[in-house]
């Protein structure tokens, strides 16, 4: 469902993107080329700051927002998801938040008030809250990163994780093309 927010903003969705009919895209959302938005995802840009303004939620080209993902923002803060990134099933991305290019966010992860650098991976059931992560950073499953976490305690990023992330992106681009073709059959 594509709908306006109370401020009257409508999503802007590239014609090459695929948005599942069960997903909800509301308000000041910009979705770029070849993006896959899976079933029951919710991307909602509707809160404003003290001045009545809001930044957009932006989903970069070739990225995928999988089943049940929620993307929202506190008080109109920006949320940006870079190009070729994957937000896996049932994750929550709550702004302010910036996710770089070629990033993998694992199942059920929660990100809030943070930045995740390019070519990083946050594995399943992890929480990143109030701490910025550099490029090529790896967060193991069920980790909890907060403002006082010592990032030097974390293992280095493995090349195989980048390869896995790219394979997920490519699989979802194929899904975009397949589902777009099916839309013409109904």
- Distance separating alpha carbons of residues 66 and 87, to the nearest angstrom: 6
Residue 179: other Cβ atoms inside 10 A: 14
The answer to whether the CB of 157 falls within 8 A of the CB of 137 is yes
DSSP 149-182: --GGGSPBPPHHHHHHHHHHHHHHHHHHHHHHHH
The answer to whether the CB of 132 falls within 8 A of the CB of 149 is no
Residue of 47, 163, 166, 174 marked active site: 47
Closest by CA to 104, choosing from 68, 74, 130, 66, is 66
Residue 53: other Cβ atoms inside 10 A: 11
The answer to whether residue 47 is catalytic is: yes
- Distance separating alpha carbons of residues 124 and 109, to the nearest angstrom: 6
- Distance separating alpha carbons of residues 165 and 100, to the nearest angstrom: 13
Task: Enumerate the active-site residues.
Answer: 47
């Amino acid at each position: 469902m594509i709908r306006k927010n109370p401020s009257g903003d409508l999503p802007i969705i590239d014609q090459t993107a695929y948005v599942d009919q069960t997903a909800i895209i509301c308000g000041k959302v910009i979705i770029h080329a070849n993006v896959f938005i899976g079933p029951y995802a919710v991307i909602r840009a509707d809160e404003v700051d003290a001045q009545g303004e809001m930044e957009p939620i932006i989903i970069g080209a070739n990225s995928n927002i999988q089943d049940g993902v929620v993307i929202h923002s506190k008080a109109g803060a920006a949320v940006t998801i870079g190009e070729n990134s994957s937000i896996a099933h049932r994750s929550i991305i709550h702004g302010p938040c910036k996710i770089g290019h070629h990033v993998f966010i694992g199942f059920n992860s929660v990100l809030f008030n943070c930045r995740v650098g390019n070519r990083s991976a946050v594995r399943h059931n992890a929480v990143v809250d109030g701490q910025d992560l550099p490029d090529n950073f790896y967060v193991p499953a069920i980790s909890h990163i907060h403002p006082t976490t010592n990032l030097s305690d974390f293992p280095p990023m493995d090349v195989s994780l980048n390869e896995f992330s790219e394979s997920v992106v490519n699989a979802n681009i194929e899904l975009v093309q397949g589902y777009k073709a099916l839309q013409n059959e109904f």
